[in-house]
Structure 1
Amino acid sequence: MGLTRLTHKRESGMKSGYWSPNRKEELVEKLADYEDLEEQGKLLKPPCAAGDTIYHVCIPKNDEPQIIEMKVGCVEPCGAIRNYKGTCEVWNVYAETDYTKAYFKFFDFGKTVFLTGEEAEAALKEL
């Protein structure tokens, strides 16, 4: 079952924002559904989406800590499993550069993975 949008972006250029042909009752009901899910902890909000740029603070062996700018390839909100050197690992975000790839968990965000270069620079200074 896919998402049925109740709102649409304005295309006229005269006004910005969204519009809807639906009745107010339908819109309020849909908003209430989302608020209920959020209150119940059932509304997943991944920290990034495919195509986003993220910044990974890493410490290579025998080298200085560095920031690697990466492009998100895919996001698995419920997690996916990969076999790495005979061990199963759960990951949520796959990202890559021209020379490397990495798998991250959502809880890596704000610790070693950041959404802005500034956040990554601040974390690097704290190492």
Structure 2
Amino acid sequence: SCPGYEAALAEYLANLNEAPMPEDPFYDEWVQATLNEESEKPKEEEVKIEEEEEKEESLEEQLGADNTLEALVDTSQQGAILIELAQTPKLNSYYAVDIQGGVYKETLTLPTTDYPDNRRALRNLASDANHRTMVRSQYERN
């Protein structure tokens, strides 16, 4: 629908297959960018390999059977926690406080009345009992 679109598209597609020409003013920048990318790839791969090796080593350390208790637990930190827990005089002040209070008397009284039985529920129970006897009778005959 645009005039000259097809010719411009054909020229663009034809230029995609060609390598940049040295007389192109952007050729030097393109070469430098390509070289930079190629030099960065091995560095990135080395970093990834080192990270994978570190992960493997840490997994080996965690899963290894030769681990000692000191390697799994920081004993100095555990000792500090136990010392802090053993200091009971700090807690005694909380337990020694006696809060003055009284007894709360019951204020609500419910009248004692007899409630009538629910006839619908009794009918349902009766039909359930009939159903059970019918099912049992089927199995008893066989």
TM-score (norm 2): 0.21
> Structure 1 or 2: larger helix share?
2
Give the structure, 1 or 2, with the largest relative contact order (CA under 8 Å, sep 6 or more).
1
> Structure 1 or 2: larger strand share?
1
TM-score (norm 1): 0.23
